[in-house]
């Protein structure tokens, strides 16, 4: 099963076990996992009490925004296109 990978080549568990999975591929997948992030964009007053729970008077629910952070992959000299294939 050497050569360019194709899903069509994997028909059995034996085919799967014969796949070559390099350390470079594993590392790229780990890097890809660092791209998607979330941040809280809700506005909290300076005196906001972080001990408040949902349902408490004055509690402000977080507003989560998804974003991409390429800092880690760029630190290793990769582009997003090289990591996410």
**pLDDT given for residue 17 in this prediction:** 66
**73 within domain boundaries:** yes
Number of structural domains the chain divides into: 1
CA distance 74 to 82: 11
Q: For residue range 21-64, list pLDDT tens digits in order.
A: 776 777 888 889 999 999 999 999 999 999 999 999 999 999 99
Strands 36-40 and 64-68, how do they pair?
A: antiparallel
Q: Which is more confidently placed, 25 or 69?
A: 69
Q: Which domain holds residue 32?
A: 28-83
pTM: 0.60
Checking if the pLDDT of 75 tops 80, the result is yes
Q: Distance (Å, rounded) from C-alpha 71 to C-alpha 35? A: 8
Paired residues of 40 in beta bridges: 64
Name which residue leads in pLDDT, 1 or 52: 52
In a domain, residue 19? The reply is: no
Question: Residue 43: exposed, middle, or buried by beta-carbon count in 10 A (0-12, 13-18, 19+)?
Answer: exposed
Can you tell me whether residue 69 is helix, strand or coil?
coil
Kindly state whether residue 39 falls inside one of the protein's structural domains.
yes
Whether residue 9 lies inside any domain: the answer is: no
Q: Is residue 70 part of a domain?
A: yes
Asked if residue 34 belongs to a domain, the reply is: yes
Q: Is 16 part of any domain?
A: no
Does residue 6 form part of some domain?
no
């Amino acid at each position: 099963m050497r050569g360019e990978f194709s899903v069509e080549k994997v028909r059995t568990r034996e085919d799967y076990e014969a796949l070559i999975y390099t350390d470079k591929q594993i590392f790229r997948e780990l890097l890809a996992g660092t791209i998607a992030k979330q941040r809280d964009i809700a506005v909290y007053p300076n005196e906001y009490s972080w001990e408040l729970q949902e349902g408490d008077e004055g509690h402000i629910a977080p507003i989560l925004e998804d974003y991409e952070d390429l800092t880690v992959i760029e630190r290793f000299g990769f582009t997003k296109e090289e990591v996410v294939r």
